[in-house]
Structure 1
Amino acid sequence: MESPALSRRLAWTVALVATLTMTVSYIDRATLAVLAPSVTKALGISDTAYGWLTSAFSIAYLVATPLSGWWIDRVGARRGLLGSLLLWTSIAALHALVPGFATLFILRIALGIAEGPSFPGAAQTLQRVLPPDERARGFGVLFTGSSIGGMLVPPLASWLFGLGGWPLAFVGTAAVGLLWVPLWLLVTRRADVRARMDTPPAAEDVVPRASFRDLASHPILLRGLCAIFAAAPIAGFALGWGAKFLDRTFRVAQEDVGHYLWLPPLMFDAGAILFGDLASRLRRAPGAPPRLLFAIAFILGTALALLPLATTPWQAMAFLGIAMIGAGAMYTLATADLLSRVPARNVSLAGGMMAGSQSLALIIMNPLIGASVDHAGDYHAVTIALGIWVIPGSLVWLAWRPPSYARA
């Protein structure tokens, strides 16, 4: 028997707290990126080696997210998110003790594994508590969780750095994540919330759970992965390389990077919320993806190629912000479309595979960025190439018309 639907207010409260899971995960993973100019200088780490550090997290996340999605589909997000957050915040705090590259590399792998359940768990929560006609809007809000973390961590880590250096910044940003725990326990304590979160809606559970292999090879999933693979380098560059870009290109001091790096994540939020809301409002044929909205989004994403034209830090943030609007929209539209087409019992697994696709793109991208910057001495070629990267996968998503899993 299907549990009764939650009130709109309660459903959105649970969804918003689940969204904050992504905020915490991005604060913990992105603190190193903000502190990278100081940490790499203190530990003698080159740009090429830093590229491998960022890829270490992505490699672990690539492996962990599909497996975590499979695990969340079985234990449920209510328990799974709580346990994984406590683990990854502990690992994030241990970054304060690193003596060199090798230890930091190991901790980045551990953090990527521990954060694996974050997106699959949050995606399952939204899919179960929100009604179908509000899920595109919900996923738009979900992706703001990541970028809210991206907005908060530059000023927070820079302020903590000014108080006690980068070790204090790692401990302080990790401690912030623990504020989420009582909120989650509070909103999930009610019996109706637990019933809704612990079982998929019966009306959407008519298609049996797909095997990992069947889902991974299905055209509807492969199409969604193309979109995420196309958008990932935009957000990956802004969040992973923004501080080093400002340091090398405009000689912005470590304590001042937070003055600029809040803007691109804010623009990501704007794109995710606006395009998610439009996708929920615009009338389309049943099952038809929002192709026009996606086309607009990917064109905005190519603005990353204009970054070499910037002559001031704020001009650079403006170009990067336009690209992030496109990235936020692409993530939202592709994710909402995919998760509406897979079996209800596979939502977390499919969400984990999409997060893994992002990691794969970053694994390829980050070492190449580091090597290019070490060789060329600037970011011109890198940002032009990343802007062009957006195009092929986006065109595939627009042109490919695979059936939903249930109709395959």
Structure 2
Amino acid sequence: MDSTATNTTEQPAVTSSHIRRTATVTIALLMGVWVIDYVDRVMMAVALPFIGAEFDLSKTSQGWLITAFSLVYLVCQIPGGVLADRFGARRLLVISLLLWSVFTALTGAMWGFVSLLVVRALFGVGQGLFPGASFKAIAERTPPSHRATAAGAMLASNNLGAGLAPLIAAPVVFALGWRHTFWVTALVGVVIGILLWAMLPKPLPTRLTEVPLPNRTTVSLRHVLRSAAVWKFAALFCATNMLSYGMITWVPSYLLEERGISLLDTGVLAAIPLLVMCVCTFLGGWLFDRFFTERARWFVIPVLLAAAATLALMLNADTAGEFTLYQTIAMGIAGLAYMSILGMPVRALPPAVVGSGMGVVNAGGQLAGVIAPVAMGWLVDHFSYTAAFGFLIGSTVLGALLALIVPKRQADFQIRAGRSNA
């Protein structure tokens, strides 16, 4: 077993500077890996029009290339969390990163739709092991009072990677072609994996990372899976994450095909909303830790409804610039809600099962990646891009409704051996 998976019984005194340094280095490393994670994912969306043209693929088939990854990624969430709880974060983080780098490289060597579908599915295995391990690393290396801010910074890097990806991928695709773009990114992933293995700090003592809730007893994966609260947050994350997956997958194609924007300009316009969402996701984590730990739903509900209203304005945009403006506002607003959705389980789950619990919650979020790309591709094929983006308005409103049923206080989220609270 990885020595980082457990803490020793004899726990020496730890200074506040050591706690800060451990948390800071951990978050910085995880942010770097999540950036590469999302560059890898979003790069596929930038390359999709060219892959579709080379292999003569319909929009629905192009959507399946994203959904194949997302489906396997979804299936791997809970096993990834269980493995992180069993063997510790460091080992699984590095294995995951190296695996997905291999399949990123193989993406650039494929010869047709079926081979691409298989490799993108295997890519989902590599990346699917990562989220549970990263949440485990956060839980082992940060105190509970700062955990949502830490997780918010980590997850904000998703959108940083998603925002940087078009800026990086579009010029490389333009200069070298879509295949070489995947090979370059794979090499960067290997380098980051080596750095992660060498630099990730050891976990903090258990007494500093346990959530101070009464009547805490030993829990297992069985108790996590029986928790209604965990599944409610998974459903909420599914509904709200449709927006990110839908925009990441189809905005580049929309700007190229419907608005006649050049590839390089498409990269810039596609990046702006995601970079703004990155900042807002980090801000949302800070707001949750500071003001909304006991009343998260009353922040999430109006924020999601405001995002849905802005998406409606986006559908009626007359120009590509106006479309991007409303898209940016909508995604920035929605980004504020993300860490209020994820902050509660990150804070409340016991560190011993935080990998498993967040694997369940993140599985819900990744179900959005299974549904949104192919559903929106089908809507484009049979109706229009307007219908496809309208789908995102409905999913965002659904998220606001689901926020009514999730626990609103940390104490409501306790998971105890033998029973679970809703």
Output the TM-score relative to the length of structure 1: 0.91
**Corresponding residue number in structure 2 for 1:96:** 108
Corresponding residue to 2:401 among 387, 392, 395: 395
Deviation at 1:262, TM superposition (A): 1.2
**Corresponding residue number in structure 2 for 1:383:** 389
Cα separation, partners in 2 of 1:113 and 1:329, compared to 1, 3 Å: same
2:237 paired with 1:228:
yes
Contact 1:220 1:341 (8 Å CA) reproduced: no
Deviation at 1:195, TM superposition (A): 4.1
**Corresponding residue number in structure 2 for 1:44:** 56
2:134 paired with 1:128:
no
Gaps of 5+ in 2: 1-8
- The CA distance in 2 between the partners of 1:269 and 1:349, in whole Å, is 25
Contact 2:89 2:134 (8 Å CA) reproduced: yes
Contact 2:210 2:350 (8 Å CA) reproduced: no
Corresponding residue to 2:280 among 252, 271, 275: 271
Contact 1:35 1:243 (8 Å CA) reproduced: no
Deviation at 1:226, TM superposition (A): 2.5
**Corresponding residue number in structure 2 for 1:60:** 72
**Corresponding residue number in structure 1 for 2:202:** 194
Cα separation, partners in 2 of 1:308 and 1:393, compared to 1, 3 Å: closer
Deviation string, structure 1 residues 175-224 (Cα, Å, up to 9, x no partner): 22233234323422xxxx32439x68574494313234x32331211221
| 1:253-268 equivalence runs, <5 A | 253-268=262-277
Deviation at 1:225, TM superposition (A): 1.3
Question: SS of the residue aligned with 1:351?
Answer: helix
| 1:1-400 equivalence runs, <5 A | 1=9, 2=11, 4=14, 6-188=18-200, 193-196=201-204, 203-204=210-211, 206-212=216-222, 214-282=223-291, 288-302=294-308, 303-376=310-383, 378-400=384-406
Cα separation, partners in 2 of 1:344 and 1:42, compared to 1, 3 Å: same
Give RMSD over aligned pairs.
Answer: 2.1
- The CA distance in 2 between the partners of 1:363 and 1:401, in whole Å, is 26
Cα separation, partners in 2 of 1:195 and 1:343, compared to 1, 3 Å: closer
Deviation at 1:264, TM superposition (A): 1.5
Deviation at 1:340, TM superposition (A): 2.1
Deviation string, structure 1 residues 100-134 (Cα, Å, up to 9, x no partner): 10001001110111101221111111122111111
Contact 2:302 2:400 (8 Å CA) reproduced: no
Q: Which amino acid aligns with 2:45?
A: A
- The CA distance in 1 between the partners of 2:155 and 2:403, in whole Å, is 19
Cα separation, partners in 2 of 1:182 and 1:362, compared to 1, 3 Å: closer
Contact 1:275 1:293 (8 Å CA) reproduced: no
Deviation at 1:258, TM superposition (A): 1.1
Question: SS of the residue aligned with 1:401?
Answer: coil
Q: Which amino acid aligns with 2:227?
A: H
Cα separation, partners in 2 of 1:406 and 1:176, compared to 1, 3 Å: same
Output the TM-score relative to the length of structure 2: 0.88
Cα separation, partners in 2 of 1:248 and 1:207, compared to 1, 3 Å: farther
- The CA distance in 1 between the partners of 2:211 and 2:294, in whole Å, is 18
Deviation string, structure 1 residues 373-399 (Cα, Å, up to 9, x no partner): 1112x3111212211221223222234
Deviation at 1:308, TM superposition (A): 1.7
Question: SS of the residue aligned with 1:7?
Answer: helix
Q: Which amino acid aligns with 2:196?
A: W
- The CA distance in 2 between the partners of 1:375 and 1:195, in whole Å, is 52
Contact 2:70 2:369 (8 Å CA) reproduced: yes
- The CA distance in 1 between the partners of 2:195 and 2:44, in whole Å, is 26
- The CA distance in 2 between the partners of 1:204 and 1:273, in whole Å, is 22
The alignment of Structure 1 onto Structure 2 pairs a total of residues equal to: 398
Q: Which amino acid aligns with 1:279?
A: F
Question: SS of the residue aligned with 1:250?
Answer: coil
- The CA distance in 2 between the partners of 1:173 and 1:195, in whole Å, is 30
Contact 1:224 1:354 (8 Å CA) reproduced: yes
Contact 1:121 1:348 (8 Å CA) reproduced: yes
Gaps of 5+ in 1: none
Deviation at 1:81, TM superposition (A): 0.4
Contact 1:58 1:360 (8 Å CA) reproduced: yes
More deviation in 235-244 or 214-223? 214-223
Question: SS of the residue aligned with 2:327?
Answer: helix
